[in-house]
Structure formats: structure tokens, C-alpha cells
């Protein structure tokens, strides 16, 4: 369900001439316009979370413009600048506000660039998982029978294993199959594939169960009666009505995907250290924790924690706002 | 809702148990297939086992010996046969039998997991009950905030934070290893020495924190849900005391999902031990598995997969069966909705 403002929705409602559309749009209108927006305005912590999330997204998106240096360009780096503490500590350097790591990369710049990679992997894998899960869920729910049984059995089996374990296994197998070629370039896709494949089940189950409810409603029967193609019914008619919960899952899964990426990178099987993500930075810094260079680990750690917390808060609020029983 | 009685009930129970056993076997077979595909098709086992100077003839001979020239279905059956006997092949990296290596590491992981699960239950249930009964109290809000942080923070970050505070700054607890262990012949334990227990504290908290918050939130939301129901209202109307209502009626009815989740989480704990063991260099199976993933040591990976799958399937089976005994409604529908 796209997030639409009041004016847009009204315009769309007016533009949509057919009665079936009016009914559907006005449902969306009433949900978005009244309840969700007002509960958003009521909750201060949600507004704070939204602002923080926006700031981090903004910083990540415009990292090349904001960051003091480009930490991914070896030409900019000098080993003389390595392991400089943050500005306020003794020995700090004004060029590097938050200090540098072992290769002379400024932590602040690496943070901005790193959260870019973390967010990119997070979004890409959520989208991948959502598309896969929604398609399979629609198919299972709408077609039913043997298709349903096979898809849901696979989902059941996968659900018994924690996502991180599946991601690790897929990651290891993929890297084994690729044989170490192009490790730097393939790392991103390997991660997206591994994380995406380990998160599709939740979408499939949710979409399937709502599809089961929707498919017996009159509008679907009507669409079937006028002879629409099943795929068209699924995508055009059923899908919009089962998207509400999907949005909640996607928001919460974004936080999970970011955590998973960070974890895999921390474990040394994710993004390589040449272009570190937040997790890779924490891994690099972990080796220096005991020799007193705490800033290499702590800043990316705090950044990761804040990002995940903010996204989780947004997800929590969205879930409560969409669940009328909790109000 | 009709209730089953006498013979019919036993029959449906038996059918349910058989159905579940059959499903478990199917899951194991599918996982074994995946493990086998990994084992056979990713990388060439022969290349991994011989040196560079081995001649082509010797390689072919080895291939023959290993049964790599048999038809694939026969290879699969042989693979399952060997796995049942506990033979998971030789590690590419360490050139030692995988089963032995996992056996050596099993006690460390199980000990860590059990202590973590215990910690999660003992801390999680009371916190959940408290936050449900005293929804608006200050302490409840603190619990809930902490639990949100606990869910939000990745496991490894919590571990690093603990190490930074208690090992680097305060130097109270060791940051790596199991401490001194006692060898019982078939089991090595760190629970009998003080250095072993000290070494266990931080990893156990790191590993159990997520489950603790999960259990707490689950107990809380289930309690809130139950406290809203008519039979609780009725119990109140009958003039029962709060204590009797909360613990006799409400908590009892929240325990079904708690049992399920805790049981299922036991598997998750063992899997998440991979991360905790890496952070604390805990010499368990998880660390072994992670090194295997890093080095693409397929025999260890596939053996670990099979073992974890077996563990999960057994846990799931037990939870499902327990569920039937605890919640009579499931007996009628056969557990599938």
C-alpha cells in the first residue's frame, strides 16, 4: 500500500469512476487519512524515529557529497593517518572528526559510505524476499491444491531454521560454487540472495492466509465470473487487498535484513574490508578493541544500533496502527 | 466445539503422532538431499583431498574408491547410509573425520545453549508477567525499553559491548575461551571450575538476551490477551482474588505458546551460538561451522546442516506432541489449520 497524502487520495477517488474502485479507494482513504496519520502525530517517539531514519537515509544517499573524504578510493588514503583517535581525544586530528581506522580511512566518511552499503543490501534483500514471498503466497493461496501444499511445506521446513543459519549456508555454498572469483563484486549479490532467500517465508504465509480470505469474497468471484485471467485477478484485485500486513513485515524485515548483513559481514563472510559496510567496520575494529582503539568499533556499532532501533520503532508503530484491536 | 472421548481420541492421537513422525522423516530426507548436493557438487572432493603432484591415474583411482563414479541416486543412498552411521567424511581443511571434530565441540555448544535458555526463561517469564499486570508502572516501561533494545541490537554487538565493559575496561571477566574444563571422559564441562563459570557468564547473557526479551514480550502480550477474555471477567465477577486469577487462570493459559516458542527457540539458540561463539572464541560447533563457511569446507558444512536439522526436527516433534497434551483443542483438528 503506497503512502498517499490526503489530497492525492481524494483526487484518485474522484478520478476513479467505476464503483468498485470507489469502494476500495475509500477504504484506503479512511485508513491512511484518519487513523494512521493521527496515531503517527500522537506518538512522539515515532516521529523521532522517523526523523532519525530519514537523517541516516539522507546521509547514506548523499554520502559522496557530505563525506569529508572518499574512503573507498585508495588514492585518498595514507597509512600515516592510520589509527588517529577522535578529535576530542589526545592526538586527534581536525581532518578526521571521529578518528581513523588501521588503513587511514576517516571513520565518519566510512560510516556514511558504510551505511550506504548496509542500507542497499537491506533494501535489496527485503525487496527480493517480498517479491518472492508475495508471488508464492498469492499462488499458494489462490491456486490451492498441490501447489499450495508444496509451497507451504517448503515454507514450513525453512521456518524451522533460523534465517541467519540459512543465510550462512547459502552464502557459504554460493561462494563455494563461485570459486572465489570476483569476490569483491559478487559479495553484494551473494548477500542479497542469501538474506532474501532466508526471509521470504513470512511474506508467503501472510499473503497466503489473507488470500484465502479474499478469494471467497464477492469481488473476486465477480472478477472470475467475467472471465478475467487468474494472474490478473491475483495481481490486480487480490494483491492490493493483502498488502497491509506485508508493509508491516517489510518494515520490520528491513531492520532484520540490516542486522543479518551486519552479522554476516562481522563474521567475515559478507562485504569485504576494501569497501566496508557497518558490520565489516565493526569486524575490523574488533581486533583493535584491546589495544585501546575503541572508536573503530564503537561508532559503527552505535550507528547500526540507532538505525535498527529507529526502523524497528517505525515497524512497531505501523503494526499497532494497522491493528485495530490494540487501540 | 465437539470434544473427543475415549477410543476416538486415542485413535486420532496415534494418527497425529504417526503423521508427525512421517513429516519429520520427510524433512530430514529433504535436508539430507540438500546436504548431499552441497557435498557432491560444490567443489571437487578429489581436488580437495590430494596434493598437486597426484597423477591423473591416481585421481581416477581415488574417484573410483570414493564411489564418485556411481550413479547419483546410489551415491545419495550411500551418503545417507554413511551419515546414519555417523560418517560425514573428512574435513578438507583439517584432514580429520568431521564426526570426531563435531563430537569434540558438542559439549561446549550444548552447555552454553542450555545455560542461555535457562537464563532466558528465569528472567523472561517474571518480567513478562510483571509488565502485563502493571502496564503503566515505571519499571514496566524500563523493561519494555530494554527489551526493544535487546531485540534491536545484533547479538554480536551486545557481545562486543559486554567485552568492552567487563573485559577491557573493568577486567572482571575473560573475553575468550571456556576457561578451565573438566574432562568427564565422554563430556568436557566448564561448569565445575570457577574460571569455567566466569568464562560462561558473558557468552550466556549475550546468547540468551534475545530469547529473554522474546519470552518476556510473548508472556506479556499473551497475558494481556487472556486478561481481556470473558472467563477472566467472569472469574473477577465471581470475586476470586487477583492472585488466583492472574496465576491460576491467566498465566496457565499463556504457557502453551510459551512452551512452543521456548522449545523452538532452543534450536535458534544453538544456531545463534555461531555468532556468540565467534565473538567470544568459544570452542564450540558454531565456531567450527563458521570457519568451515569461511574456508568453504563443505564436509563440515553439510554435516553441521544435517546435525542441526536433526536437532530441530526432534525438538519440533517434541514440542508438537507436548502441545497436543497441553491444548486439547488441537486433538480434534490434527494440529493442521
For every residue of A76-135, DSSP letters joined together read G--GGGTTPPPTTSTT-BTTBTT-B-TTS-BHHHHHHHHHHHHHHHHHHHHHHHHHHHHH
What's the confidence (pLDDT) of residue A204?
A: 92
> Using a CB-CB distance cutoff of 8 angstroms, which residues of chain A are in contact with residue B273?
none
Give the C-alpha separation, B316 to B260, whole Å: 9
Q: Which residues of chain A have pLDDT under 70?
A: 1-36, 76, 82-83, 87, 92, 94, 179-183, 323-327
Contact A164 B271 (CB under 8 A): yes
To the nearest whole Å, the CA of B126 is away from the closest chain A CA by: 23
What's the confidence (pLDDT) of residue A323?
A: 67
Residue among A176, A268, A312 whose CB faces B43 most closely: A176
**Cα dihedral sign for B273, B279, B281, B282?**
negative
Q: Does B155 touch chain A (CB under 8 A)?
A: yes
> Which residue, chain included where needed, has cell 477410543?
B7
Residue B311's contacts (CB-CB under 8 Å, 6 or more residues apart) are B267, B270
To the nearest whole Å, the CA of B7 is away from the closest chain A CA by: 30
CA distances from A145 to B16, B91, B178 (A): 21, 43, 52
B224: left (phi over 0), alpha (psi -120 to 50) or beta: alpha
Q: Does A168 touch chain B (CB under 8 A)?
A: yes
Give the C-alpha separation, B276 to B281, whole Å: 8
Is B114 exposed, middle or buried (CB count within 10 Å of its CB: 0-12, 13-18, 19+)?
middle
pLDDT in tens, chain B (337 residues): 344 554 555 666 778 788 888 888 888 888 888 888 877 777 666 766 666 677 777 777 777 777 777 777 888 888 888 888 878 878 877 888 888 888 888 888 888 998 998 898 888 888 888 888 888 888 888 888 888 777 778 888 888 888 888 888 888 888 777 777 777 777 777 777 778 888 888 999 999 888 888 888 888 888 888 878 888 788 888 877 777 777 777 777 777 777 777 777 887 888 888 889 988 988 888 899 888 888 878 888 888 888 888 888 888 888 777 777 766 665 555 444 3
Q: Does A124 touch chain B (CB under 8 A)?
A: no
What's the confidence (pLDDT) of residue A15?
A: 42
What's the confidence (pLDDT) of residue A179?
A: 66
The pTM score is: 0.79
What's the confidence (pLDDT) of residue A6?
A: 43
8 A C-beta contact, residue B152 and residue A305 = yes
What's the confidence (pLDDT) of residue A239?
A: 85
Give the C-alpha separation, A289 to B175, whole Å: 11
Any idea what the Cα angle at residue B101 is, between residues B95 and B102, rounded to 5°? 140
Rg (CA), chain B: 25
What's the confidence (pLDDT) of residue A25?
A: 53
Q: Is A2 helix (H, G, I), strand (E, B) or coil?
A: coil
Q: Does A306 touch chain B (CB under 8 A)?
A: no
Amino acid at each position: 500500500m503506497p503512502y498517499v497524502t490526503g489530497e492525492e487520495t481524494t483526487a484518485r477517488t474522484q478520478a476513479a469512476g467505476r464503483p468498485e474502485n470507489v469502494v476500495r479507494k475509500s477504504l484506503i482513504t479512511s485508513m491512511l487519512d484518519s487513523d494512521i496519520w493521527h496515531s503517527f502525530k500522537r506518538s512522539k517517539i515515532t516521529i523521532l524515529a522517523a526523523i532519525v531514519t530519514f537523517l541516516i537515509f539522507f546521509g547514506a544517499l548523499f554520502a559522496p557529497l557530505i563525506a569529508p573524504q572518499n574512503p573507498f578510493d585508495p588514492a585518498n588514503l595514507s597509512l600515516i593517518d592510520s589509527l588517529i583517535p577522535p578529535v576530542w581525544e589526545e592526538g586527534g586530528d581536525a581532518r578526521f572528526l571521529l578518528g581513523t581506522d588501521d588503513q587511514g580511512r576517516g571513520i565518519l566518511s566510512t560510516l556514511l559510505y558504510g551505511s550506504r552499503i548496509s542500507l542497499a543490501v537491506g533494501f535489496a534483500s527485503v525487496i527480493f524476499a517480498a517479491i518472492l514471498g508475495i508471488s508464492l503466497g498469492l499462488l499458494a493461496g489462490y491456486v490451492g491444491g498441490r501447489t499450495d501444499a508444496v509451497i507451504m511445506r517448503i515454507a514450513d521446513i525453512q521456518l524451522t531454521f533460523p534465517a541467519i543459519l540459512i543465510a550462512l549456508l547459502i552464502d557459504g555454498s554460493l561462494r563455494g560454487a563461485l570459486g572465489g572469483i570476483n569476490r569483491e563484486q559478487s559479495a553484494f549479490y551473494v548477500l542479497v540472495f542469501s538474506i532474501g532467500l532466508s526471509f521470504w517465508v513470512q511474506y508467503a504465509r501472510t499473503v497466503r492466509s489473507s488470500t484465502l480470505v479474499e478469494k471467497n469474497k464477492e469481488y473476486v468471484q465477480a472478477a472470475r465470473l467475467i472471465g478475467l485471467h487468474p494472474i490478473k485477478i491475483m495481481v490486480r484485485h487480490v494483491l492490493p487487498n493483502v498488502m497491509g500486513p506485508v508493509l508491516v513485515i517489510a518494515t520490520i524485515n528491513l531492520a532484520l535484513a540490516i542486522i543479518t548483513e551486519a552479522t554476516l559481514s562481522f563474521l567475515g563472510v559478507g562485504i569485504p574490508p576494501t569497501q566496508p559496510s557497518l558490520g565489516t567496520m565493526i569486524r575490523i575494529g574488533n581486533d583493535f578493541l584491546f589495544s585501546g582503539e575503541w572508536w573503530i568499533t564503537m561508532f559503527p556499532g552505535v550507528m547500526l544500533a540507532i538505525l535498527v532501533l529507529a526502523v524497528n520503532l517505525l515497524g512497531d508503530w505501523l503494526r499497532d496502527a494497522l491493528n485495530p484491536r490494540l487501540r | 466445539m465437539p470434544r473427543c472421548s475415549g477410543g476416538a481420541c486415542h485413535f486420532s492421537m496415534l494418527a497425529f503422532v504417526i503423521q508427525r513422525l512421517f513429516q519429520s522423516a520427510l524433512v530430514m530426507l529433504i535436508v539430507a538431499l540438500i546436504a548431499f548436493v552441497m557435498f557432491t557438487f560444490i567443489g571437487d572432493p578429489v581436488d580437495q583431498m590430494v596434493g598437486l603432484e597426484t597423477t591423473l591415474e591416481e585421481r581416477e583411482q581415488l574417484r573410483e574408491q570414493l564411489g564418485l563414479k556411481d550413479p547419483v541416486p546410489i551415491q545419495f543412498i550411500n551418503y545417507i547410509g554413511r551419515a546414519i552411521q555417523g560418517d560425514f567424511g573428512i574435513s578438507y581443511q583439517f584432514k580429520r573425520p568431521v564426526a570426531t571434530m563435531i563430537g569434540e565441540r558438542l559439549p561446549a555448544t550444548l552447555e552454553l545453549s542450555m545455560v542461555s535458555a535457562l537464563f532466558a526463561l528465569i528472567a523472561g517469564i517474571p518480567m513478562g508477567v510483571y509488565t502485563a499486570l502493571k502496564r503503566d508502572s515505571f519499571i514496566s516501561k524500563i523493561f519494555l525499553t530494554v527489551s526493544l533494545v535487546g531485540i534491536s541490537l545484533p547479538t554480536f554487538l551486545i557481545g562486543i559491548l559486554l567485552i568492552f565493559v567487563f573485559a577491557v575496561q573493568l577486567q572482571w571477566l575473560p573475553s575468550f575461551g571456556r576457561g578451565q574444563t573438566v574432562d568427564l571422559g565422554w563430556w568436557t564441562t566448564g561448569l565445575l571450575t570457577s574460571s569455567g563459570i566466569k568464562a560462561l557468564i558473558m557468552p550466556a547473557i549475550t546468547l540468551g538476551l534475545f530469547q529473554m526479551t522474546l519470552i518476556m514480550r510473548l508472556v506479556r502480550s499473551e497475558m494481556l490477551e487472556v486478561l481481556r477474555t470473558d472467563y477472566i471477567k467472569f472469574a473477577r465477577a465471581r470475586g476470586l482474588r487477583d492472585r488466583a486469577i492472574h496465576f491460576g487462570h491467566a498465566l496457565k493459559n499463556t504457557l502453551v505458546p510459551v512452551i512452543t516458542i521456548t522449545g523452538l527457540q532452543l534450536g535458534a539458540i544453538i544456531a545463534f551460538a555461531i555468532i556468540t561463539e565467534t565473538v567470544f572464541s568459544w570452542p564450540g560447533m558454531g565456531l567450527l561451522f563458521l570457519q568451515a563457511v569461511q574456508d568453504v569446507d563443505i564436509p563440515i558444512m553439510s554435516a553441521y546442516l544435517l546435525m542441526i536439522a536433526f536437532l530441530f526436527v526432534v525438538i519440533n516433534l517434541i514440542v508438537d506432541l507436548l502441545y497436543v497434551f497441553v491444548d486439547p483443542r488441537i486433538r480434534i483438528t490434527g494440529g493442521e489449520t
